[in-house]
Amino acid sequence: MIGNYLEFNVFFDIIGTIAFAISGAILGCKKKMDILGVTVLGLVTALGGGFVRDLVLGINPPKMFQNSTNAIISTVFSILVFMFFYFRKNFQSRQVISFMNEFMIISDTIGLASFTITGMATALSLGLDKRFLLIFVGSITGVGGGMIRDVLAGTIPFIFKEQIYAGACILGSIVFLLTRSFLGDQVSMIICFFTVLIFRLLAVKRNWNLPRISD
Amino acid sequence: MIGNYLEFNVFFDIIGTIAFAISGAILGCKKKMDILGVTVLGLVTALGGGFVRDLVLGINPPKMFQNSTNAIISTVFSILVFMFFYFRKNFQSRQVISFMNEFMIISDTIGLASFTITGMATALSLGLDKRFLLIFVGSITGVGGGMIRDVLAGTIPFIFKEQIYAGACILGSIVFLLTRSFLGDQVSMIICFFTVLIFRLLAVKRNWNLPRISD
Amino acid sequence: MIGNYLEFNVFFDIIGTIAFAISGAILGCKKKMDILGVTVLGLVTALGGGFVRDLVLGINPPKMFQNSTNAIISTVFSILVFMFFYFRKNFQSRQVISFMNEFMIISDTIGLASFTITGMATALSLGLDKRFLLIFVGSITGVGGGMIRDVLAGTIPFIFKEQIYAGACILGSIVFLLTRSFLGDQVSMIICFFTVLIFRLLAVKRNWNLPRISD
């Protein structure tokens, strides 16, 4: 059972790692960082959520240090992103920026969705099966890397300025909790993944808003 | 003995949680966040200090995940704060803002005072009874949540711009250490609570300043 | 062997602590913080890297709480820095600022170099001898305190705006890994120290740049 979770985990973990590394690297490029800064921001975004999750769950040293696959993947993809934008600088800059923004939102959302799952799967693989803990750990793993990315790059975190960001994680976790008893954990996790993904992308596209205090 | 600390703890822990959730939620409202952003900022402020404390003391998983009472309380109070300001938007905005500022300073100070105590009480309940550790853990638990709140909301933390902020925690912890041997731990903690509270509120009201380098 | 590392450690640890405390305190003075804010920023910069390292390596409670020597040293040096600038305010302010900047870069680099070593030495003293882990832990210990300092003071961290910052740590760690098998750990660590130091100071002086995306 534990083995199952972990194997299943690996796939979404890699997807999330790549997606977040890309989103971190894109933000670094937008902020005109150099190639190393871009790589560090990619690494921090990709590994930050899992790092916070492992601190919370008491996994020492955190998984990122037990197995450097994710660190290597993040480094490679961050450098690829940097090179992509570096050699395209002759493009219309407005066009490149709008492409960057869209691509960053998509990769950020994929990271959000897959890390929500790996967060919950990691807790379950340790035998921690409490509802609130699962929602918490799923959401923290999902939003943690992006929050660290935004704080380090000097922007207000996505979670506070975007519509329906952490909301998508929480909704996905709840969908997982509601469906797992009759669909099994693995199917429910896939449903959770697509719930987070579709819900946030729709929210961005349709400009859904939660109530906020106006002037 | 340990049981005593923990029971005693619970009361101040809840007070601090409510006060910090309110201060986080108010800052979220001031920054025009939506209802979920306001709730997340409330949660982070309320649970952040204890989270850092538990990391420091090696409590795994941190207490916030063992017992979700505080998370629920924070969520409820953050939503209440949001609704309060949401339905009052027809008020003179200058009046509302000045009310927000005052209310935030008061709730922040109550959180500061109660979390200074719970920080020290948690260390003592683990049998860690060293002077420097107690001052450190008390102060970190007190200022941690507010620092995370301010960093996430994109403001310079209170601790650096306010007069006498961490100073109040440190003073309170020292008062506790000086009085506990002849008044007992519990009475000294209550004295510590009021020391932090009164000292910081007086400092804000009278505009006390520590020396700083002028231009 | 473990004892050797730790003893050897102590020397560079104190050098790094003093240097980072000074760099934090100088930034606090530049930002017009009061004496307590300056001290807190000095403390956080000096102890932050080791704190993150200890969380990563699972040392509970972190070393800074087991032994308060470093906390005391940081406090003393932060106050000395504050007093130095406080009583020199009659100087030409442009002259003082340029002196501050230079002195901060030098002390920051010394901290970077010595904490890269202590990071690796701490991992080795726990029997953790994997290449990637050593580079990671060395670099995180080196850059961690400065990153926390910059985030708290509301500036984009050095690591993202400076040329060759984390790069110097990574280079130093690699030099250590390459030379240790034939020079022994202690000599290699000293070589690592000077590699980080000289490489970053040269990079700042000669204004070396890594590729970055221009407009």
Express each pLDDT in A109-149 by its tens digit.
999 999 999 999 989 988 888 888 899 899 999 999 999 99
**Residues in chain C within 8 Å Cβ distance of A37:** 159-161, 212
Note whether residue C52 is domain-resident: yes
Q: What is the pLDDT of residue C90?
A: 56
The reply to whether C152 falls in a domain is yes
The pLDDT of residue B1: 47
Q: Is residue B211 part of a domain?
A: no
Domain contains C48: yes
pLDDT at residue B77 greater than cutoff 70:
yes
B69 sits in which H/E element: helix B69-86
Mean of per-residue pLDDT scores for chain B: 85
B57: chain C residues, CB-CB within 8 Å: 60-61
Pick the more confident residue, A155 or A162. A155
Mean pLDDT (whole number) for B17-38 = 90
CA distance C169 to C160: 14
Q: For residue C161, give how far its alpha carbon lies from the nearest alpha carbon of chain A (Å).
A: 7
CB-based contact (8 Å) between A203 and chain C? no
Domain annotation covers residue A209: no
pLDDT of res. C25? 94
Residue C187 CB coordination number (10 Å): 13
Report the domain count for chain B. 1
The chain-wide mean pLDDT, for chain A, equals 85
What residues does C34 pair with on adjacent strands? B212
Question: With contact defined as beta carbons under 8 Å apart, do C75 and C41 qualify?
Answer: no
Task: Write the DSSP symbol of residue B40.
Answer: H
Q: Which residue would you say has higher pLDDT here, B36 or B90?
A: B36
Q: Are A31 and C211 an interchain contact pair (Cβ–Cβ within 8 Å)?
A: no
- Residue B155 belongs to a domain: yes
Chain B CA closest to residue A135: B65
Give the whole-angstrom CA distance, residue B139 versus residue A116.
33
Which structure tokens are listed for A200? Answer: 């946030």
pLDDT for the residue numbered B212: 76
Cβ pair B144, B112 in contact under 8 A? no
Mean pLDDT along residues C155-171: 82
The residue range of the domain holding B42 is 2-205
In a domain, A215, yes or no: no
Distances, alpha carbon A192 to alpha carbons A34, A126, A196, C158, C196, in Å = 36, 20, 6, 39, 46
The pLDDT value given to residue A215: 59
A132 vs B: CB within 8 A: yes
- Nearest CB among B137, B157, B214 relative to C152 is that of B157
- Residue A175 counted as domain residue: yes
Instruction: Let me know: does A47 contact A13? Beta carbons within 8 Å.
Output: no
Q: Indicate the SS3 state at residue C34.
A: strand
pLDDT of residue A89: 61
Give me the pLDDT at residue A1, please.
47
DSSP A212: B
Q: Which of A165, A169, A162, A160 is nearest to A192 (CA)?
A: A169
Which of these, C177, C59, C137, lies nearest to A65 by C-alpha position?
C137
For chains A and C, count residue pairs whose Cβ atoms are closer than 8 Å: 67
**pLDDT (mean) for B159-164:** 73
| pLDDT reading at A96 higher than 90 | no
- B109-154 residue pLDDT tens: 999 999 999 999 989 988 888 888 899 899 999 999 999 999 888 8
Q: Which residue of C has its CA nearest to A55?
A: C55
C-alpha–C-alpha distance, residues A116 and A175, integer Å:
12
Which chains does chain A touch, 3 or more C-beta pairs < 8 A? Answer: B, C
pLDDT on residue A6: 61
